[in-house]
Chains A and B, each alone.
Chain A
Amino acid sequence: NAGVMQNPRHLVRRRGQEARLRCSPMKGHSHVYWYRQLPEEGLKFMVYLQKENIIDESGMPKERFSAEFPKEGPSILRIQQVVRGDSAAYFCASSPPGTWAGNTIYFGEGSWLTVV
């Protein structure tokens, strides 16, 4: 029973390039969350998606960041024109549908982005 799968695990980008981070939720899960973790800081919510819908993107920076969760395939967090301040660990989490599930979210192992 595979958990939340994220790739790449490590990504190095030069300033101005684009970074694409992918997340496949646990089997049977239809809700995906993206969090960012800066060094020595906690987990900051970025965006919450269901299939083909962005439910809440209140934590997403207004520019350069976007997320999608298509009908088929993984969820993708896209960062355009990366800057050094984007260097962080990006975690994806998923949860099953329905309120009965208790809303427990399960994290992947993260994608570490380094901007040089």
Chain B
Amino acid sequence: GENVEQHPSTLSVQEGDSAVIKCTYSDSASNYFPWYKQELGKGPQLIIDIRSNVGEKKDQRIAVTLNKTAKHFSLHITETQPEDSAVYFCAASLSGGSYIPTFGRGTSLIVHP
């Protein structure tokens, strides 16, 4: 089955800095890569996703890049703010059929004011 590795497990930055979280996956057939943000005591919320037919996607201060050859994808947050502090999860899955997303272990992002 699919295996997703996520690094780092903890990331501490100053407000205004950029943050980068990296994930690798094992199944070359995976073609859908969502990112979720989980705040304390809440459920994971989808923040951005990317499919294998594109290499980069951007939405305001967040962007995701995908390298299918190397089987890795990354989340980039620019101009971080304290409200970006949360746990971020990457996932990989195969679109279509009885797909089940496999998640990374999560990255705890702390943005210091």
A associates with B: yes
A residues sitting closer than 8 Å to B (CB atoms) are: 4, 6, 33, 35, 41-43, 45, 48, 55-56, 91, 99, 102-110
Chain A residues contacting B101 (CB-CB under 8 Å) are 45, 103, 105
Chain A residues contacting B46 (CB-CB under 8 Å) are 104, 106
Task: Give, as a whole number of angstroms, the nearest-CB distance from A82 to chain B.
Answer: 21
Write the B12-50 contact mask toward A (1 if CB under 8 angstroms, else 0): 000000000000000000001010100000111110010
Whether A103 lies near B89 (C-beta < 8 A) is: no
Residue B103 lies at the interface, judged by CB distance under 8 Å to chain A: yes
Chain A residues contacting B96 (CB-CB under 8 Å) are 99, 103
B residues sitting closer than 8 Å to A (CB atoms) are: 6, 32, 34, 36, 42-46, 49, 51, 89, 93, 95-106
Q: Provide the bound-state CA to CA distance between A45 and B104, in Å.
A: 11
Whether A42 lies near B106 (C-beta < 8 A) is: yes
Q: Provide the bound-state CA to CA distance between A4 and B46, in Å.
A: 13
Q: A42-B103, A43-B103 are in contact. Are A108 and B43 (CB under 8 A)?
A: yes
Task: Give, as a whole number of angstroms, the nearest-CB distance from A105 to chain B.
Answer: 6
Q: Provide the bound-state CA to CA distance between A104 and B106, in Å.
A: 18
Q: Which of B46, B101, B103, B104 has the most CB of A within 10 A?
A: B101
Whether A102 lies near B95 (C-beta < 8 A) is: yes
Q: Provide the bound-state CA to CA distance between A75 and B106, in Å.
A: 26
Chain A residues contacting B43 (CB-CB under 8 Å) are 4, 6, 91, 107-110
Task: Give, as a whole number of angstroms, the nearest-CB distance from A59 to chain B.
Answer: 9
6 closest A-B pairs by CB: A99-B96, A42-B105, A107-B43, A43-B103, A109-B43, A107-B44
Whether A103 lies near B105 (C-beta < 8 A) is: no
16 residue pairs from A and B, CB less than 8 Å apart: A6-B43, A41-B105, A43-B44, A45-B101, A45-B102, A55-B98, A56-B100, A99-B96, A102-B32, A102-B51, A103-B95, A104-B46, A105-B101, A107-B43, A107-B44, A109-B42
